[in-house]
A and B are shown apart, each in its own frame.
Chain A
């Protein structure tokens, strides 16, 4: 038990993303309303984006932009230490992942609008009842 607290504090970013992910997953499984499920889906995806962003971080490091790179006097002499800059690659990857998640969210919202137009409800149990009313197949 005494080991657990330092472990949580030292790796708090991992704990945070796991908790967020589980909140999202819970909403996707347990909620009855389709829009709430969609919000859960978004939280789930955002948790992973946060995970990626946090693994690029280094203590006491700055953004990866080299100052005076163009035309500065000591630009050529300056030694670049990789340790002084955070790793930009996970962040760049997440730009793509954000685009993917926005696109997914958009498609899902459009589907929800379609469902609402057809059945006038977004509650899953009511939808299930309507589907029984329609009969087995189209």
Chain B
């Protein structure tokens, strides 16, 4: 069986179709179909990762057409890891979200699962493909489904947030498409490896420079790098929580992956760092993104909104790290893709549990939450420690690589921003802990208020939340293995 690479993407696509049809028969059926589709996808992604580690890069030719004519799925170590990350996060989230989907979008659960599966299909396709135009189409599939999903959320603000997201998303995708057009103009090819081979001969060309700038701006808009981030907080915090849990960790991270893929595979380090010498400017952009994201997070009064600004801050880490122009920085950026996806997922799982019980997560609603939802809060604390970067958790290790990379490149401002933002995150989360732990329930007059009753989220949500939070420590402990078996061989 060597069709696993296609199966990763096709299983959720077919499941989306079936889940849409199954609603007519029985509402519950679409959930089981979605679970099955993502299960197959996760299994195939695992198989592919093992295959890539053992036998090297897989080139899967769609329908047997050889590149550069046909579309190729090219899966190397980086891809394989990202694919496994996406499919397993989507699968775990589905396990956790059965109850909250019924609660939030009860009349449209079938369409929720269909759009969810299509969204995951898009993300998986973006990570698997080796073709520039195919990448555009898949990015648009991902975006279109997330527009629809955001509108399914908050009935008052969802549609408007979604429409603003449409406008900015279209501008980003169009810039990318335009850049691909210029590349095609110059090289006559759309296959990434083929384009890279042709480009290595014509590095001085101004057409290639324009293509590079357009593509990078397009991708930055899509990943919400600081000045282009305005769509993200509203879109993510007004979407249904079951979707926010998967879009927040995955969407931006996959776009960072696309950026790194284009930098390494298509344009090449020599072109970016020696011919263009753009490193400094973009590392500054990353620095500003980190500081701005952290400061804006500090001013939020809603937990969901606060976390979305932390995503903006984390994007700065990865973009800055990738553009430092040395191996340590790139290692840190790639490791941070995995780690940040996991930590954001753990945070949003905990927030999902809170939303399930409390409906709103204004910081003032969280009083006494340690008493009411101890397990959820335990998961939340672990994830928060990881975002801050407390040593045994995985967040520490990627930050370590990033700081080492910053010192090697002499980008002290970037290292300073990393440390300052960690401090700000510590302030933020301890503010939340203080509200949740020390402030008792508002109506507790006198000394003898009754013991707090535990009102936890459903067991399925708790198990997933606990599992992911514990995995933060496990991934942290094994981060040396990940770096040595996956990232360093990839960068060589």
Contact = CB atoms under 8 A, between A and B. Distances in A.
Interface of A: 25, 28, 34, 37, 41, 44-45, 48, 51-52, 55, 90, 93, 96-97, 100, 103-104, 107-108, 110-112, 114-115, 118, 127, 131, 134, 136-138
B171 interface: yes
B166 A111 contact: yes
A127 B164 CA distance: 13
B154 interface: yes
B166 A104 contact: yes
A106 B160 CA distance: 15
Given A108-B147, A111-B151, 15 more contacts: A41-B166, A48-B174, A48-B178, A51-B178, A51-B181, A90-B181, A96-B133, A97-B136, A100-B173, A104-B170, A107-B148, A108-B163, A114-B151, A115-B163, A138-B154
A107 B171 contact: no
A118 B156 contact: yes
Given A41-B170, A51-B178, A104-B144, A90 B184 contact: yes
B155 A97 contact: no
B366 to A, nearest CB: 14
B362 interface: yes
A51 B177 CA distance: 11
A138 B140 CA distance: 30
Interface in B147-161: 147-148, 151, 154-157, 159-160
Nearest to A44: B174
Contacts of B362: 136-137
Main DSSP-derived SS at the B contact region: helix
B140 A104 contact: yes
B140 A100 contact: yes
Contacts of A44: 170-171, 174
Contacts of A131: 156-157, 160
A25 B167 contact: no
A55 B140 contact: no
A67 B160 CA distance: 53
B479 to A, nearest CB: 37
Interface centre among A100, A103, A111, A114 (most CB of B within 10 A): A111
A114 B162 CA distance: 11
Nearest to B134: A96
A112 B136 CA distance: 25
Contacts of B171: 25, 28, 44
A52 B154 contact: no
B326 interface: no
A96 B173 CA distance: 14
B296 interface: no
Given A104-B144, A118-B156, A138-B154, A111 B163 contact: yes
Main DSSP-derived SS at the A contact region: helix
A114 B166 contact: no
Nearest to A108: B166
Nearest to A42: B170
A90 B188 CA distance: 10
Contact of A115 (B140, B147, B159, B167): B159
A127 B161 CA distance: 12
Given A28-B171, A44-B170, A100-B140, A138 B133 contact: no
A45 B181 contact: no
23 contacts: A25-B171, A28-B167, A34-B163, A41-B166, A41-B167, A44-B171, A48-B177, A48-B181, A55-B184, A96-B137, A97-B136, A100-B140, A100-B144, A103-B140, A104-B144, A104-B147, A104-B170, A108-B147, A111-B166, A131-B157, A136-B302, A137-B360, A138-B155
Contacts of B167: 28, 37, 41
Interface in B267-315: 301-302
Nearest to B158: A114
Contact of A107 (B136, B166, B177, B181): B166
A52 B185 CA distance: 9
A127 B160 contact: yes
A126 B155 CA distance: 18
A48 B184 CA distance: 14
Contacts of A100: 137, 140, 144, 173
Contacts of A114: 151, 159
A103 B142 CA distance: 12
B144 A103 contact: yes
Given A108-B163, A115-B160, A131-B160, A97 B144 contact: no
A61 to B, nearest CB: 16
Contacts of A96: 133, 137
Nearest to B185: A55
Contacts of B181: 48, 51-52, 55, 90
B56 to A, nearest CB: 31
B114 to A, nearest CB: 14
A48 B140 CA distance: 15
B155 A118 contact: yes
A52 B379 CA distance: 50
